């Protein structure tokens, strides 16, 4: 993606020419942020975008503008509501209408994973720069992704697509048991199942029959430690990377309601122990066709020390990891991502701290009725806590590995952060009833 100079007004195919509709030729570029709903993460990204005085920001969303904080909504140049942001025809109509009213769309971007491929198709149709639809498809379709990675020599788990009942036996022969069954275009371990034997696989596929339109991916069950690798790419070159460690894996958390998940971002991200995954991650992004943006790669370190890439998303990470990067570097990583997507530039931040997050999950059934252990955490770790969201009484459980709240800590020493998150999950209990 080329860098946008101040006050540039690049032409978007299909948009009216002859200058900007809202202030003449000298008006700042018009960019569009796309999100299904104004979630806390999407609102944070949109707030960072409208905070850039060198651009005018429009938004396409399924939510009404009234669901935005007033200070964010007041700084928008435009809002266009659609029924489904993942429908290319609706996106194209929205972007075309906004271009007619506000001038050519210089950039159109968003962080929602299911949005990346349809948005890439629409950008291509309208001549807006950004990740190609072919690359977006490779990131989104897990089978296409793994084929591209395997062809490039990137270590990946054994896998097979199940698009009919006849394909089940071939998949089992390729992958073996135990295996992981997941949607071909899933996200965040949702609808992911650990399958130990043939009878269990048969039952799952009877409940959710595979079809060519809705296939499943059978994947080797990886054993070891799970991590993420975040990368920033500019014009196809990886310019910065960050690593986190999960404990335990998200799938284990979903299978065991009593487990509270933790993620640690070590300060020593440049340590030799990560040399192999940094190199593999760079090779993987080249194979998938990454241009400019942030990617989130989940990978395993097997018990024998080898590694395997699980999957890669062409978007910033979720689960508060952008905030963790911000706290580790004393920067605003979300604002850096917006500048990257709008201007194609990125300033490498200095790693100053290790950061860890303990996710607080409800125990039992029903809604949150009590949270215990918070005073002990305040007493023991108060100086380390940098962010938190305490589960509120009456809240329904999310059903995800992120739980109903979190406590984030940081310290210059990684070992201190690791002890802190273990202390949090062993002390805080969220009771449901």
The pLDDT profile of the chain, 433 residues, written as one tens digit per residue, is 433 333 222 223 233 222 334 444 568 999 999 999 999 999 999 999 999 999 999 999 999 999 999 999 999 999 999 999 999 999 999 999 999 999 999 999 999 999 999 999 999 999 999 999 999 999 999 889 999 999 999 999 888 999 998 899 999 999 999 999 988 775 555 678 889 999 999 999 999 899 998 899 998 888 889 999 999 999 999 999 999 999 988 888 877 878 899 999 999 988 999 999 999 999 999 999 999 999 999 999 998 999 999 999 999 999 999 999 999 999 999 999 999 999 999 999 999 999 999 999 998 889 999 999 999 999 999 999 999 999 999 999 988 889 999 999 999 999 999 999 999 999 999 999 9
Q: Which residues contact 330 (CB under 8 A, 6 or more apart)?
A: 349, 350, 352, 353
Q: What is the pLDDT of residue 16?
A: 29
CATH number of 30-130: 3.40.50.20
Q: For the residues of 318-373, what is the DSSP string, one character each?
A: -TTHHHHHHHHHTS-HHHHHHHHHHHS--PPPPP--EEEEEEE-EESSSSEEEEES
Q: Helix or strand or coil: residue 60?
A: strand
Phi then psi dihedrals of residue 156, to 5 deg: -135, 165
Q: What is the pLDDT of residue 249?
A: 86
For residue 269, how many other CB atoms are within 10 A of its CB?
Answer: 19
Domain positions in the chain: 30-130, 158-220, 224-432
Across-strand partners of 307? 301
Q: How many angstroms separate the CA atoms of 35 and 121, rounded? A: 16
Q: What is the pLDDT of residue 6?
A: 31
The 78-81 sheet, strands edge to edge: 78-81, 56-61, 30-35, 105-109
CB contact at 8 A, 305 and 223: no
CB contact at 8 A, 217 and 143: yes
- Say what the pTM is: 0.88
Superfamily of domain 158-220: ATP-grasp fold, A domain (3.30.1490.20)
Q: Helix or strand or coil: residue 302?
A: strand
Q: How many angstroms separate the CA atoms of 264 and 247, rounded? A: 8
Q: How many angstroms separate the CA atoms of 395 and 406, rounded? A: 14
Q: How far is CA 264 from the centre of its chain?
A: 17
Q: Is the domain defined by 224-432 classed in CATH 3.30.43.10?
A: no
- Which residue's entry shows tokens 């009593």? 258
């Amino acid at each position: 993606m080329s860098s946008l100079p101040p006050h540039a007004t690049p032409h978007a195919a299909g948009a009216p020419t002859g200058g900007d509709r809202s202030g003449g030729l000298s008006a700042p570029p018009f960019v569009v942020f796309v999100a299904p709903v104004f979630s806390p993460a999407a609102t944070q990204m949109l707030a960072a975008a409208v905070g850039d005085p060198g651009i005018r920001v429009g938004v396409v969303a399924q939510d009404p503008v009234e669901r935005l904080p007033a200070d964010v909504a007041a700084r928008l140049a435009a809002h266009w509501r659609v029924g489904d942001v993942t429908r290319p025809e609706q996106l194209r109509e929205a972007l075309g209408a906004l271009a007619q009213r506000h001038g050519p769309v210089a950039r159109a971007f968003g962080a929602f994973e299911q949005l990346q491929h349809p948005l890439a198709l629409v950008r291509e149709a309208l001549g807006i720069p950004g990740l190609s639809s072919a690359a977006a498809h490779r990131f989104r379709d897990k089978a296409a992704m793994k084929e591209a990675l395997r062809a490039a020599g990137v270590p990946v788990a054994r896998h097979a697509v199940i698009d009919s009942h006849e394909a089940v036996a071939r998949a089992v022969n390729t992958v073996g048991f135990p295996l992981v069954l997941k949607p071909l275009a899933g996200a965040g371990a949702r609808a992911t199942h650990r399958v130990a034997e043939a009878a269990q696989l048969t039952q799952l596929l009877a409940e959710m029959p595979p079809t060519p339109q809705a296939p499943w991916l059978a994947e080797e069950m990886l054993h070891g430690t799970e991590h993420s690798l975040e990368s920033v790419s500019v014009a196809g070159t990886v310019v910065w990377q960050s690593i986190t460690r999960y404990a335990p894996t998200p799938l284990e958390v979903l299978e065991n309601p009593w487990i509270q998940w933790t993620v640690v971002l070590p300060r020593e991200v440049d340590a030799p122990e990560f040399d192999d995954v940094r190199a593999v991650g760079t090779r993987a992004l080249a194979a998938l066709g990454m241009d400019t943006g942030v990617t989130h790669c989940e990978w395993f370190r097997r018990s024998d020390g080898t590694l395997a890439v699980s999957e890669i998303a062409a978007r910033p990470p979720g689960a508060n990891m952008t905030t963790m990067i911000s706290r580790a570097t004393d920067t605003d990583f979300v604002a850096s991502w917006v500048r990257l997507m709008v201007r194609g530039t990125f300033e490498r931040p200095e790693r100053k701290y290790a950061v860890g997050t303990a996710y607080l999950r409800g125990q039992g059934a029903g809604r949150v009725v009590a949270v215990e252990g918070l005073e002990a955490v305040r007493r023991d770790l108060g100086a380390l806590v940098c962010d938190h969201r305490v589960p509120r009484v009456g809240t329904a459980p999310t059903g995800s590995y992120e739980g109903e709240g979190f406590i984030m800590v940081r310290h210059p020493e990684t070992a201190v952060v690791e002890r802190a998150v273990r202390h949090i999950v062993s002390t805080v209990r969220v009771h449901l009833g």
